[in-house]
Structure 1
């Protein structure tokens, strides 16, 4: 994830690894909302994980605001190519 401190990408992917447990499907509504800038719930989850300081959470939020695809890519990590194509 560009614009984020080193190592943050992997931790975010781990936090949300459950999000699309069914690797054959991706929630188009969720992905569309993120692409529209609605990711507050995800940022709250990152903040409440205890893995990051408040300043790092702010940095993550700013990066996602600039490029929501950073979060989309993290959520779709491990999802099959067919599922990725449905939300492309």
Structure 2
């Protein structure tokens, strides 16, 4: 497609994309943009805030409760307490 070459510099980006290499590390970092939302500074200021004891409700039909990362917390407790699934 014209104008959609990934990784090629378009001239107006000062070559920032020309040296970008997408690998597992950069891909995973892009999923959680800590620096851009200042979460890295918050974590540095509050290292003891790790989410323990926090209960979160998620209203989203796109999660997979069987995903490996959604099974247990770092202290062995279940991450998902209940799942309600219905179709309208």
- Pairwise TM-score range, normalised by the shorter structure: under 0.3
The structure whose RCO (Cα within 8 Å, separation 6+) is larger is: 1
| TM-score when normalising by structure 1 | 0.27
Hey, which of these two has a bigger chunk of helix by percent?
A: 1
Q: Which has the larger radius of gyration?
A: 2
| TM-score when normalising by structure 2 | 0.27
